[in-house]
Amino acid sequence: MQNWELVQRYSRQQILPGIGEEGQRKLGESHVLILGCGALGCLTASALIRAGVGRLRLVDRGVVALHNLQRQILYDEADARMGLAKAIAAESSLKEVNHQVRVEGIVTNFSSGNALSLVEGVDLALDGLDNYESRFLLNDVAWKTGIPWIYGAAVGTVGLTATFLPHQTPCFRCLHPELPPPDTILDCTVAGVINAVPWMVAAIQAAEAVKLLVGDPSLNKGLLLVDPWNHNYEKIVLATRASCPTCRGHYSFLDGSL
Ligand SMILES: [Zn+2]
């Protein structure tokens, strides 16, 4: 039997047939890794903490700057003035929202040296990363360990997301066989970003995460593209590539054998 405060706190989502008391219990027992505490990571972390996910591990190496406040919802002007580490500022902010969950902020760079230890014990990893190389690494780690991960990216007016289930769906490297050349990559520092785009992507990531954690089968099977500025919304079918190294068990970004 759940206590009164828990019933009150989660009553609006627990009414949903897809969640219920059993789903809420599963969320409370879940442990999620969020890589990157930028716009995507801030919003997914906030959504999952509010939904009652029992444990969050947040990883980011950066510090809060004034230009982050346009879209990174866990930080304020004082954080930017002090140049606080994002993982620590996010942890502190999230604990104010829900004292019943465990939040662990880790200030580090996600790398092949710490990737396996960072996914230790988690049920799911969410992508709030800002570069391709880290996503290839996350993809390798996910396929090696069997941990699902949810891709998210946002730049300019366009956002992308996909849900990757190891050895069940195509993987990120099926979509991108190799690292794109550096001069072809657009990021927010060059192309800018409107805040609605990462928030839309993160909202989809959070919904996918909740469904995965409660065991709902209606997951996103494909690559979703959202562009609210130009009213373009697409669902792109993904296919497993027979020559994909990750799907064939070669984890070159993780073991450094590139
Ligand atoms: Zn693959």
Tens-digit pLDDT profile for residues 64-109: 999 999 999 999 999 999 999 999 999 999 999 999 999 999 999 9
- Collect residues with CB below 5 Å from ion ligand 1: 171, 173-174, 244, 246-247
* Mean pLDDT over each residue of the chain, to the nearest integer: 95
Instruction: For 220-246, write each residue's pLDDT tens digit.
Output: 989 999 999 999 999 999 999 999 999
Q: How many helices (H) and strands (E) does the chain have?
A: 12, 8
Residue-level pLDDT at 256: 82
Instruction: For 165-198, write each residue's pLDDT tens digit.
Output: 999 999 999 999 988 877 777 777 778 899 999 9
CA of 253 to the centre of ligand 1 (A): 13
Q: Which long-range contacts (CB under 8 A, 24 or more apart) does 243-248 make?
A: 243/177, 244/170, 244/171, 244/173, 244/174, 244/177, 245/173, 246/139, 246/140, 246/143, 246/171, 246/172, 246/173, 246/174, 247/143, 247/167, 247/170, 247/171, 247/173, 247/174
CA of 191 to the centre of ligand 1 (A): 29
Q: Can you tell me the mean pLDDT for 140-146?
A: 98
Query: Would you say residue 1 has pLDDT above 60?
Result: no
Query: Would you say residue 205 has pLDDT above 70?
Result: yes
Residue-level pLDDT at 71: 97
CA of 168 to the centre of ligand 1 (A): 10
Quote the CA–CA distance of 49 and 241 in Å, as a whole number.
36
Quote the CA–CA distance of 129 and 163 in Å, as a whole number.
15
Residue-level pLDDT at 2: 59
CA of 33 to the centre of ligand 1 (A): 21
Residue-level pLDDT at 181: 78
CA of 246 to the centre of ligand 1 (A): 5
Domains defined along the chain, listed by start = 4-255 (3.40.50.720)
> Residue 119 belongs to what H/E stretch?
helix 115-119
Q: Can you tell me the mean pLDDT for 198-203?
A: 98
